A and B are shown apart, each in its own frame.
Chain A
Amino acid sequence: MTEIKKGHPSRGISVYSYQALLGRTMTLDDVFEEMHDTGATCFEFLTSYIEGYPNPSPKWVDHYWMLCEKYHMQPAELGHWCETHLHRGPKMSDEEIVEELKQDFRLANLLGFKSLRTKITCTNVLCDPEPGWQSYIEKALPYAEKYDVRMQNEVHLPTTLHTPHIREEYLDFIRRTGTDRFGFNIDFGTFQTRAAKGMEDNPMFHFDDVSKPEEIVEFLPYCWTCHTKFTYMDENCEETTIPYRQIIKLMIDNGWSGNLVSEYEGVLAYNSDKNIQEFAKAMVGIPEQVRRHQIMMKNILGY
Chain B
Amino acid sequence: MVEFQAVQQRGFHNYYDENGNIAGFEFKFVPRYYKGLWFTQCRFGNVEVDGEVYDRDCISIIYDGIAYSREELFDLKRYWQFRTPIVVRVPKKGGLSVGYHDVVMNFGWVLNYNGALEKEKDGSGLGNMAHMFGTKNERRMLLCR
Contacts and interface: CB of A to CB of B under 8 A. Distances in A.
Given A49-B82, A52-B81, A54-B79, A24 B123 contact: no
Interface string B72-85: 00110101011100
Interface stretch (B53-61, B90-98, B114-122): B114-122
Given A22-B83, A51-B81, A85 B2 contact: no
Nearest to A125: B114
B113 A119 contact: yes
Contacts of B123: 88
Contact of A48 (B6, B32, B35, B122): B35
Interface string A41-83: 0000011110111100000000000000000000000000111
A122 B4 contact: no
Nearest to A22: B83
Nearest to B111: A81
Nearest to A283: B4
Interface in A17-31: 19-20, 22-25, 27
B35 A89 contact: no
- Chain A, interface size: which category? 35 or more
Interface stretch (B12-20, B21-29, B36-44): B36-44
A300 interface: no
A54 B112 CA distance: 19
Given A23-B2, A24-B2, A24-B4, A123 B35 contact: no
Interface of B: 1-6, 32, 34-36, 38, 40-41, 74-75, 77, 79, 81-83, 110-118, 121-123, 132
B5 A124 contact: no
Given A85-B110, A273-B4, A23 B118 contact: no
Given A22-B83, A88-B123, A124 B115 contact: yes
Given A48-B35, A89-B121, A82 B81 contact: no
Contacts of A121: 112, 117
B113 A16 contact: no
Most central of A27, A123, A276, A279 by chain B CB within 10 Å? A123
Contacts of A54: 79
A86 B41 contact: yes
21 contacts: A20-B34, A22-B83, A24-B1, A24-B83, A25-B1, A49-B82, A53-B79, A81-B112, A85-B112, A85-B117, A87-B75, A88-B121, A88-B123, A119-B113, A120-B112, A121-B112, A122-B112, A123-B117, A124-B115, A124-B116, A125-B115
A38 interface: no
B86 to A, nearest CB: 14
Interface in A255-292: 272-273, 276, 279
A127 interface: yes
Chain B, interface SS category: loop
A51 to B, nearest CB: 7
Given A23-B82, A119-B113, 11 more contacts: A19-B34, A22-B83, A23-B1, A24-B83, A47-B36, A52-B81, A81-B111, A83-B112, A86-B77, A121-B117, A122-B112
A122 B82 contact: no
A301 to B, nearest CB: 27
Contact of B40 (A49, A87, A125, A204): A87
A39 B42 CA distance: 39
A16 B33 CA distance: 11
Given A86-B77, A124-B115, A48 B4 contact: no
B113 to A, nearest CB: 7
A123 B5 contact: no
A46 B114 CA distance: 19
Contacts of B77: 86
A19 B31 CA distance: 12
Contacts of B75: 87
Contacts of B114: 122, 124-125, 127
A81 to B, nearest CB: 6
Q: Which 7 A/B pairs are nearest by Cβ-Cβ distance? A: A23-B83, A121-B112, A48-B35, A48-B36, A19-B34, A48-B82, A279-B4
